[in-house]
Amino acid sequence: MSLGMQDAELIETIHRKYSAVLMDLDERGTSRWAAAEAMSLGWGGITAVAQATLARSLYHLEWYRGTEVFAGSRS
């Protein structure tokens, strides 16, 4: 799948944020950050965050999708 310029810029922005906090967070903190970032993006957020973080937190993002963290964001 080819990314548009806007998508590539979004993924780069997410990656910069992720890189800035990565060393200060343990695995749980990293997963919670990734879930919050994906939730803030809405539709496509999990995919964008997974691409930006090299899918390191994809499992946790999918898990958070089914928890209260995402309950308020569903339409």
pLDDT digits (tens, 9 = 90+) for 18-70: 989 888 988 888 888 888 998 898 888 888 888 888 765 555 556 556 655 44
Q: What's the pLDDT at 59?
A: 56
Q: pTM (2 decimals)?
A: 0.66
Q: What's the pLDDT at 2?
A: 47
From its phi and psi, is residue 44 left (phi > 0), alpha (psi between -120 and 50) or beta? left
Beta-carbon count within 10 A of 30 CB: 18
- Domains in the chain: boundaries: 17-71
**Residue 54 token pair:** 């090299």
Q: What's the pLDDT at 5?
A: 59
